[in-house]
Structure 1
């Protein structure tokens, strides 16, 4: 597989190091869409790891780019609050949403309310339920893979990554499987700006989000009238801490669960195949040693970093890295940068599937907001690769992916592949 992005990356390297440091802005979705943000973060880690960007499409914000500093912010929810939202939001999006009610979710809350709502839904991803789900996920993975074409180019994102995660998410919601791709579509509508993904305008985005929330309000009403069941909507409708939440708060949690249950796993499934093709010696090592799948999964989650950042708001003046972050300032923890911090992770730009301590990464976050579904993500990735290795001697990536135009979701819109043959 050839890398058609070399010139773009060289240009990004030159721009990142020639620009005045004080004006450096890593929050540029075009850089992420071109996989060209790496030199910006490399320079910030080296020269200004606690960096203030005064002007950007997202307003003023601080960038935290080193591993240990990110952990310090992530684990101090009293100083760095989630209540104002957990992502950088563009000024355009803020203006568009100015006259609409806020839709808070538990990830954008601080304890104790956060803890109460998270506890309500966490049983669905507890070890006992994952054990029950594993055979179902395996059966679905096998069916997906057995239906793939041999010897012709197809889009891995569409036929594999989206399909498996949509099936799993529909199960968690007890949403009709025949309508599962609506969940995938709504996730893309939530996370894309007009002109990208399926979003063509703010009006269309509003309309489709409203449709999504209308569907889930109907599900809430039906589940609230029924006996408690073991799905996310029923849990919220009957939970002591959530059954009295207002509609806007419920909608915020729906958006969180759709995005969290879809984007991260789907983009890591795609990222794993892309990374293995970029690193053929590692792919060969995996085929010869399938017991490395678990380690490969963790290494991919680090290497891919499916959510590039999380944001917080300072609740007080605080010193970090010789700088003063003021009360009210927005702070971006760039997981994508911390996962490439060579002061903590040896040779971090390399993809090494038998790396010592592969679970040492930032991709799931730390502290009270650590990803509630992290074990489910790992389970889906593990199962799909166990089934891939049984069926296909190799899956070849035959072109560069189309990457997501976002500073939050770090993923793939398309990934062209060919499966030359099935295993004997």
Structure 2
């Protein structure tokens, strides 16, 4: 099976598009700069893009390829539904593809390319079908029972530490990793390793964006990072080899035994496949959980409606996904000269799809900046993408959100964001790395436990 990393289109300097730009290139926000995203989504800039430049040419710097930014809902759906024209494989989902001589760590960068999310048809669908059993409703329901127990234990720990806690460190980063380890079949003894590896991989993004800031706090980070990356890949190779000989009823076994054209997957795809599930499932669910708590604080009228009618929780989670848009963009690469919304696009030019902009398109969602749990088309968001590449794990994500928020609101109905948060520099996901909350509401205090005398109880 051909590796995506062998044929991927590396960035070539391109300041101007091949065909004349129909729309202006707006100034005011550097979409390509991770640091620009630390204040959240640029909704005012997205509004200008939708109105003035729905297919907008942008150039990051002279050494990199420019790209077309797409911001309208209907245009993004059109791209997603034409994978034969807009390829995931030719240029990957990443905004930039560095030259191969800059791929470090050596195994990590190719693993990011060699996975189902970067495949075109028919390989994409063939691989998807062989893993589908771990994303169907029956499996999701069975998994949900274990998730419920984990939620209870996490809420116990939050209450013990509270009332003011970091929701991310104590809940929203813990639950998705537990769920993913359950799906993959990671042994209990190995789970602390997964948590440590994910922590260092997340820090790596900050390191590559602004190395000196991280090194001032963690001078040994590069040495530890490369050590843990090597340890992670050695673990994956060992577990996948074992699952081929000793299969289990888990997703790791399904990945290890996937066959394409009658042959087992190359190790590079095995590496990429299980890491993608950890990354994709962790980032999106973590930020959706944190973002929903933030929204409930910002829109108390909608919280009140949900508390009065818990049947609104599924609608609330969909509306929260629309508002939060945890995945900020995906990229496609034109396989041929084409046209989108009147703009001609040349073969091999990059097309970047901005989901937060589409999910607040007023032509689709009335009063789009309002969190409205009774919105009629609440399920029409594209937070999970659209078309053949729609997120395979969307049912898992929805299950976690609904079960977690049901239990959180039962136990802490007044939980409130204090206004303190940290959003990490990241162009791909809305990375809420800390979110301070008060479990009992603004300035809330822990409820007082009143002791009842046994003697009084006996007299009664």
TM-score band w.r.t. shorter chain: 0.7 to 0.9
- What's the counterpart of residue 321 of structure 1? 341
CA contact (8 A) 2:84 2:335 kept: yes
Q: 1:81 to 1:179 in 2, by over 3 A?
A: same
- What's the counterpart of residue 180 of structure 2? 169
> Which is higher, the Rg of structure 1 or of structure 2?
2
- What's the counterpart of residue 11 of structure 1? none
Q: 1:58 to 1:36 in 2, by over 3 A?
A: farther
The answer for unaligned runs of 5 or more in structure 1 is 1-18
CA contact (8 A) 1:271 1:411 kept: no
> SS of the counterpart of 1:401?
strand
Please list the CA deviations of residues 395-414 of structure 1 after superposition, one character each: whole Å capped at 9, or x if unmatched: 12113210121110112100
Q: 2:36 aligns with which of 31, 37, 40?
A: 31
- What's the counterpart of residue 10 of structure 2? none
Q: For residue 90 of structure 1, report the CA deviation from its aligned partner.
A: 6.4
Q: 1:178 to 1:384 in 2, by over 3 A?
A: farther
- What's the counterpart of residue 63 of structure 1? 69
> SS of the counterpart of 1:256?
helix
> SS of the counterpart of 2:205?
coil
CA contact (8 A) 1:64 1:332 kept: yes
| Inter-partner Cα distance in structure 2 for 1:181 and 1:284 | 38
> SS of the counterpart of 2:382?
coil
- What's the counterpart of residue 87 of structure 1? 94
| Inter-partner Cα distance in structure 2 for 1:129 and 1:366 | 23
| Inter-partner Cα distance in structure 1 for 2:263 and 2:242 | 13
- What's the counterpart of residue 269 of structure 1? 289
> SS of the counterpart of 1:59?
coil
Q: 1:155 to 1:132 in 2, by over 3 A?
A: same
Q: For residue 179 of structure 1, report the CA deviation from its aligned partner.
A: 4.2
Q: For residue 136 of structure 1, report the CA deviation from its aligned partner.
A: 1.1
- What's the counterpart of residue 180 of structure 1? 191
| Inter-partner Cα distance in structure 1 for 2:141 and 2:278 | 22
- What's the counterpart of residue 158 of structure 1? 169
- What's the counterpart of residue 12 of structure 1? none
- What's the counterpart of residue 307 of structure 2? 287
Q: 1:358 to 1:49 in 2, by over 3 A?
A: same
> SS of the counterpart of 2:121?
coil
- CA-based RMSD of the aligned residues comes to 2.6
| Inter-partner Cα distance in structure 1 for 2:182 and 2:69 | 37
- What's the counterpart of residue 193 of structure 1? 205
Q: 1:116 aligns with which of 115, 119, 126?
A: 126
Following superposition of structure 1 onto structure 2, how do residues 93-104 of structure 1 map, counting pairs within 5 Å? Answer: 96-97=102-103, 100=106, 102-103=110-111, 104=114
TM-score, with length taken from structure 2: 0.81
| Inter-partner Cα distance in structure 2 for 1:94 and 1:21 | 31
- What's the counterpart of residue 233 of structure 1? 252
Q: For residue 267 of structure 1, report the CA deviation from its aligned partner.
A: 0.8
Q: For residue 344 of structure 1, report the CA deviation from its aligned partner.
A: 1.0
Please list the CA deviations of residues 65-109 of structure 1 after superposition, one character each: whole Å capped at 9, or x if unmatched: 000000000111100001121121365x86631794633111101
CA contact (8 A) 2:177 2:278 kept: no
- What's the counterpart of residue 135 of structure 2? 125
Q: 1:90 to 1:77 in 2, by over 3 A?
A: closer
| Inter-partner Cα distance in structure 2 for 1:153 and 1:181 | 26
| Inter-partner Cα distance in structure 2 for 1:46 and 1:414 | 33
Q: For residue 190 of structure 1, report the CA deviation from its aligned partner.
A: 4.2
| Inter-partner Cα distance in structure 1 for 2:226 and 2:66 | 26
> SS of the counterpart of 1:21?
coil
Q: 1:364 to 1:358 in 2, by over 3 A?
A: same
Please list the CA deviations of residues 187-217 of structure 1 after superposition, one character each: whole Å capped at 9, or x if unmatched: 4544552437997666654443332211111
The more displaced of 392-401 and 164-173 is 392-401
CA contact (8 A) 1:171 1:177 kept: no
The answer for unaligned runs of 5 or more in structure 2 is 1-23, 216-220, 441-445, 450-460
Q: 2:413 aligns with which of 384, 387, 393?
A: 393
The more displaced of 338-347 and 392-401 is 392-401
- What's the counterpart of residue 26 of structure 2? 21
The more displaced of 93-102 and 50-59 is 93-102
The more displaced of 159-168 and 238-247 is 238-247
- What's the counterpart of residue 80 of structure 2? 74
